[in-house]
Amino acid sequence: MANSKFEYVRNFEQPDSLLPNTWIVVRIDGRGFTKMCAKYEFEKPNDRRALDLMNAAAKAVVTDIPEITIAYGVSDEYSFVFHKSSNLFERRASKLVTTIVSTFTANYVYLWPIYFPDTPLSFPLPTFDGRAVCYPTVQNLRDYMSWRQADCHINNLYNTAFWKLIQLGGLDNREAEKTLAGTLAADKNEILFSRFKINYNNEPEIFKKGSIVFRDYELAEPSSHDAAAAADALAEPAVQSKSQAEKDKKRRAKAKVVVEHLDIIKDEFWDRRPWILS
Ligand code: ATP
Ligand code: ATP
Ligand code: MG
Ligand code: MG
Ligand code: MG
Ligand code: MG
């Protein structure tokens, strides 16, 4: 088509491509899920159906977009990691974020009736926001993932104690809050055990650790955690030839996407799955 006189407006679009050769993390978060919990009667502090639904939607996103190497989810949020070599959408932030957000939301809504067969969706409908952040080194990326998982643990310990004080202890919100004010992790464990005979360690892994979505291949042998292995875990991936990258892409597209609830703060998870960060 011939250029129209209107076409100059194209020049108003601003470039938003993300820094090359960095790990891109797109984190999405449910909008107003505090209200959603009340409206759809999520069990507190952890509604298993809602977590399973988040995981199913995330699995669909990872399956749909092979450039995602790993994803981590807790509560109403999910972080999707693009490999530093990814050139999807020329690394344009708005394209990456909006595609993830809408693919996730579409799947979340589509799969809702499977996880909430007795609770039809109405209003408010679930929606999500999203942002993209670049991490230059594997260490920064690992620290990001560790930050989210540590957050999961801290929040879950607090929420578990808080809700047990209400549900089993008969306290109201304010009393429960007051009981927990200034307590350390050990104190919360102690409150759970002495008052309710609950051993926090025996709580489900999905609650304590959150969920990890990744492509599964054969596990590497567990490495002895010597200095060399530790250095290996943080090594930057070598630059690949184009044909190798193509082969890897095909292999990734075929691999099975799994959801696990493992420790991603320690080295072992990464040592045993060297393909995730290589
Ligand atoms: P915003 O729009 O700013 O994100 P929000 O109400 O979603 O507001 P968040 O900080 O994202 O605020 O908190 C999410 C809330 O939803 C938390 O209170 C969390 O406990 C709750 N929640 C999320 N998933 C579940 C679940 N599976 N079971 C029970 N509660 C959940
Ligand atoms: P991309 O993911 O890059 O946007 P695309 O296939 O969506 O790829 P577009 O440039 O957005 O490419 O073009 C959308 C295509 O969908 C066009 O071919 C357009 O004619 C077709 N299309 C969109 N809406 C309709 C419609 N209502 N009826 C018939 N065709 C449609
Ligand atoms: Mg938010
Ligand atoms: Mg939220
Ligand atoms: Mg949140
Ligand atoms: Mg289009």
Q: How many angstroms is it from 60 CA to the middle of ligand 6?
A: 20
Beta strands in 206-253 (DSSP E): 211-216
Specify the residue with its C-alpha closest to ligand 1, atom 25.
Answer: 75
Q: How many angstroms is it from 215 CA to the middle of ligand 3?
A: 27
Q: What is the pLDDT of residues 58-112, one digit of tens each?
A: 999 999 999 999 999 999 999 999 999 999 999 999 999 999 999 999 999 999 9
Considering the chain, what percentage of its residues have pLDDT values greater than 70? 94
The answer to whether the CB of 211 is under 6 A from ligand 1 is: no
pLDDT on residue 251: 75
The answer to whether the CB of 151 is under 6 A from ligand 1 is: no
Task: Please state whether the peptide bond connecting residue 204 to the residue before it is cis, i.e. omega within 30 degrees of 0.
Answer: no
Q: How far apart are CA 201 and CA 182, in angstroms?
A: 21
Q: Which ligand minimizes its atom distance to the CA of 31?
A: 1
Enter the ipTM. 0.95
pLDDT on residue 244: 78
Q: Is 97 helix (H, G, I), strand (E, B) or coil?
A: helix
Whether 261 and 209 have beta carbons less than 8 Å apart is answered as: yes
Q: Reduce the secondary structure of 6-32 to three states and give it as a string.
A: CHHHHHHCCCCECCCCCEEEEEEEECC
pTM summary value: 0.92
pLDDT on residue 243: 83
Which of the pair, 207 or 223, is modelled with greater confidence?
207
Which of the pair, 9 or 253, is modelled with greater confidence?
9
**Index of the ligand 1 atom closest to the CA of residue 46:** 28
The answer to whether the CB of 54 is under 6 A from ligand 1 is: no
Specify the residue with its C-alpha closest to ligand 1, atom 4.
Answer: 31
Q: How many angstroms is it from 128 CA to the middle of ligand 3?
A: 8
Q: How far apart are CA 214 and CA 262, in angstroms?
A: 12
Q: What is the pLDDT of residues 50-61, one digit of tens each?
A: 999 999 999 999
| Banded pLDDT at 228 (limits 50, 70, 90) | low
- Cα-based distances in Å from 257 to 1, 33, 63, 88, 260: 43, 27, 7, 20, 10
In the structure, ligand 3 is a single-atom ion and the residues with CB under 5 Å from it are 29
Mean pLDDT of 16-44: 98
Q: What is the pLDDT of residues 234-244, one digit of tens each?
A: 777 766 677 87
The one-letter code for the residue type at 77 is E
**Average pLDDT score, the chain:** 93
Q: How many angstroms is it from 78 CA to the middle of ligand 6?
A: 25
Q: How many angstroms is it from 93 CA to the middle of ligand 2?
A: 21
- Write the burial class of residue 167 (CB in 10 Å: 0-12 exposed, 13-18 middle, 19+ buried): middle
pLDDT on residue 54: 99
For the cut 60, the answer to whether the pLDDT of residue 224 exceeds it is no
Whether 84 and 25 have beta carbons less than 8 Å apart is answered as: no
Q: How many angstroms is it from 270 CA to the middle of ligand 5?
A: 25
Q: Which ligand minimizes its atom distance to the CA of 124?
A: 1
Q: What is the pLDDT of residues 136-167, one digit of tens each?
A: 999 999 999 999 999 999 999 999 999 999 99
pLDDT on residue 2: 66
